[in-house]
Amino acid sequence: MASAALQTTFSLLTFVVLFNGCYGFYPKLINTSFAMAASEYDWSPAGATWYGSPTGAGSDGGSCGYGGSVAQPPFSSLISAGGPSLYKSGKGCGACYEVKCTSNSACSGGPVTVVITDECPGCVSESVHFDLSGTSFGAMAKSGQDQNLRDAGVLQIQYRKVECNYPGTTIAFHIDSGSNPNYFATLIEYENGDGDLASVDLKQALDSDSWQPMQQSWGAVWKLDAGSRLRAPFSIKLTSLDTGNTIVAAGVIPAGWEPGKTYRSVVNFKA
């Protein structure tokens, strides 16, 4: 009996050691809701190219709508256009991925975190393709070999989805220039966690109970065409795409809001 118990204990300890040793524990990769399958966090193969300036942010904004902010902190040009499976008709905007390469002698093998901010509709040679900014592509290189890596032009890489983490940054709402008293549209950016959104709802100031669903307009821009005058201030409820987590930016759009302005919330998803 003692021998059997000892053998059982040894087997359990061996399992624990093997599990931790082989797979590790990544607090930023594993969400306690377990809403994502474990395979979401394994490294998978993808293709990679780069576009724009060698040390730039790809295009000036891209089809997610983030505009010039892609070159500024917290994005800091570490961004990517995504093929159809990453861009997801705009629902993939804001998602964060780690990418790394070992297929070229200039590759460092170290991971680089990038954000999906643009679309690459022609990137269909592989099921998953990153068209990285010049900055992102070069960041996968060994020190001093970034241009050598960019000269390769096309790479086979590895990737995995990770949680976005923007320390000290709250979610921002940039009001679309076409918004008016009956039509409201806003670009949403800097979401921690999933980074991408499944749904957005708006509540008017004089309606304390009812949330009105907004529609995705394009990229990371969401709209509500009310057909009647909207009453600010607005509260906006965000639901993340993968985990289904929900957060409310209460009263974030003030009375007297103006198209073209950006309004900062005081909230963000937990990173």
pLDDT computed for residue 227 by the predictor: 85
pLDDT computed for residue 207 by the predictor: 75
CA distance 232 to 173: 14
The residue type at 50: W
pLDDT computed for residue 3 by the predictor: 41
199-226: burial string, b at 16+ Cβ within 10 Å, e else: bbbbbbeeeeeebeebebbbbbbbbbee
CA distance 188 to 194: 13
Ranges of residues in the chain with a pLDDT under 70 are 1-41, 271
Q: Which domains does the chain have, with CATH numbers?
A: 38-162 (2.40.40.10), 172-264 (2.60.40.760)
List residues bridging with 193 in a β-sheet. Answer: 164
Residue 129 DSSP code: E
pLDDT digits 0-9 by tens, 222-245: 999 988 899 999 999 999 999 999
| DSSP code string of 27-67 | TTT--TT--S-GGGGS-EEEEEEEESSTTS-SSSSTTTT-G
pLDDT computed for residue 41 by the predictor: 58
pLDDT computed for residue 133 by the predictor: 96
Q: Would you state the structure tokens that stand for residue 248, as one six-digit string?
A: 């409310």
CA distance 77 to 59: 10
| Three-class DSSP category at 99 | strand
